[in-house]
A and B are shown apart, each in its own frame.
Chain A
Amino acid sequence: MNPAPSVKTLMIDGKDVSARADQSILDAARENAIPIPTLCHLDGLSEAGACRLCLVELKGTPRLQPACVTLVEEGMEVTTQSPRLEKYRRMVVELLFAERNHVCSVCVSNNMCELQDMAKQLGVTHVRFPYRYPRLPVDTTHERFTMDHNRCILCTRCVRVCTEIEGAHTWGVFGRGVDAHLITDLDIPWGTSDTCTSCGKCVQVCPTGALFEKSKVGMQSQKNPDFLNYLNEMREIER
């Protein structure tokens, strides 16, 4: 029998909460109905700490910490909303828009996009940084799906779902910094990949219009990542 997991008590936004020692600040906050904005997090996948939207303030340290990959500690005092955090969260979203070509009006995911929603939620009405306008490829070689690098925010949900749930390890990240981009297998066209099972999980978890099903536009291209929790639950029962 497993020993009982140890319980930590902490304070989030002035509210006393308790959490298991293996839980993140984000888990603890959401269990207590305290909202923290996220883009790369998805229930059912591991955490990547890629988007930095869930940054929170911890008492006693000047550095902001990502709530998704920071474990709870006894006596921790967490602040999830402050003018400073709002400033950085807005900046994160603006930089995501400036980095690649997110043309919402002509995007397949227009009105169904987590980045677009996040901009509205955080009150981003314009981008203060100069847009980069990089020239990026669109991979249409796969029979059923398209990868549009213009819309990718490198959240790596596709990489994680392909590895952790499908077990195919098709997606990966190539390059560093501003040159980082997604690749299939050893940087070959998606349609020629030996490992891709064409399951489409990557498409369903993609928060933007970077991955989408061919010939589906508008409301037809609504993403549905709910299968993740179902699959995880079923696997838990089988174990």
Chain B
Amino acid sequence: MSKATLATIWLDGCSGCHMSLLDMDERLIELSPQFELVYSPLVDAKVLPRNVDVALVEGSVSSDEDEHKIRLIRSRARILVSLGDCAVTGNVPAMRNSFPVDALLHRVYIENATLQQQVPTERLPVLLKRVRPVHEVVTVDVFVPGCPPSADTIYSVLKELLAGRVPDIAALSRFGI
């Protein structure tokens, strides 16, 4: 049996969901015969392969780079999973949505900076006007709320998906915590 291909991406989030994924500990070894991690912040691969069976998405869509990444991964992934509250709800990154981007950048890089007071512009992704949950940008197949979703939750979700079943998320996780 050929292994399923798994990709994970990290948009605007704190990487806590990836930490929770690693928190699966020995269960990673248990599941590892079933999948190959082809693209992820956790591995060296630099290019997203053409066909991905399952893509786990951490983080919200906050910049033009995030938007490009999520559209690309959607076009190449069979099952796209919104992993964690940032991807599912916008969560903490979206707290900036009540303020205009200019005001935000000014506050952070001018008002609250003591050295080199300037808004960075070069070689950085441009912030979108509003931070959006993943499903407001592309179609999402599986939603896994939680901040972060527990290792148990991620294990159950992966196990079910690799077995070709749809996990019962409401029984596993919830917003917050």
Instruction: Identify the A interface with B (CB < 8 A).
Output: 97, 101-107, 110-111, 113, 116-117, 119-120, 122-128, 130-131, 133-136
Contact = CB atoms under 8 A, between A and B. Distances in A.
Main secondary structure of the interface of A (DSSP, over half): loop
Nearest to A135: B98
Contact of B144 (A104, A124, A125): A125
Main secondary structure of the interface of B (DSSP, over half): mixed
Contacts of A110: 176-177
Given A105-B176, A105-B177, A119-B175, A134 B98 contact: yes
Nearest to B145: A125
Contacts of A126: 82, 88-89, 133, 135, 140, 143, 145
Contact of B99 (A106, A127, A135): A135
A104 B98 contact: no
Contacts of B175: 97, 102, 104-105, 116, 119-120
Interface string B142-166: 0111010000000000000000000
Contacts, number: 73
A70 to B, nearest CB: 28
B176 A133 contact: no
B15 interface: no
B94 A133 contact: yes
7 contacts: A120-B170, A125-B145, A125-B169, A126-B89, A126-B133, A128-B135, A130-B136
Contacts of B82: 126
B95 interface: yes
Contacts of A124: 170
A133 B89 contact: no
A16 B91 CA distance: 46
A109 B98 CA distance: 21
Given A105-B91, A106-B92, A111-B177, A133 B85 contact: no
Contacts of A128: 135
A21 to B, nearest CB: 38
A125 B143 contact: yes
B90 interface: yes
Contact of A116 (B90, B170, B176): B176
Contacts of A117: 174
